[in-house]
Amino acid sequence: MTINNDKIQYPEFKIHLRRAVLADRPIIYEWLAKSNLTKSMLGEPHFPDAPIPSFEDFTNNFSDGFFTDDIKSSGKCFVISDGNDEVGTLCYDLLNLRKKWVVLDIWLRDEKCCGNGYGSESLRLLCFYR
């Protein structure tokens, strides 16, 4: 297993996690708001109470601290990669060790990335992150 500040890998896993940086934020936004999976997560007609966020709204919810080493940030974003391609993102927010809870977001960049175990493996890898 390899764990450092930028990457989490485990030899038996087909994916690895890389700490997202500010340059990743527009790409991650596209995966959320403009992919062929968006309609299955957000917006009309199926999710009228969860509208697709503007980039400004996304930036407000996922501030710079999610993409930097800011230790005051309540959360962090990671890019999920299968070794060849970036396939999605995993973010945590509001980590509270005392209460033992956290808010997690996972979304993939494309429908073709679904059904490959990327989400479940990324959750397991995140458990190794310190």
CATH number at residue 110: 3.40.630.30
Q: What are phi and psi of 78, to 5 degrees?
A: -130, 150
* Alpha carbon of residue 85 to chain centroid: 15
Per-residue pLDDT of the chain (130 residues; tens, 9 = 90+): 555 556 767 677 889 999 999 999 999 999 999 999 999 999 998 999 999 999 999 999 999 999 998 887 878 999 999 988 999 999 998 777 677 788 899 999 999 999 999 999 999 888 877 5
Give the integer Cα–Cα distance in Å for 90 and 76. 9
Domain that holds residue 35: 2-126
Number of domains forming the structure of the chain? 1
Q: What is the pLDDT of residue 69?
A: 87
Distance, in Å, from the CA atom of 46 to the CA atom of 18, rounded to the nearest integer, reads 32
Q: Point out which residues pair with 45 in neighbouring strands.
A: none
Tell me, what's the pLDDT at 4?
Answer: 59
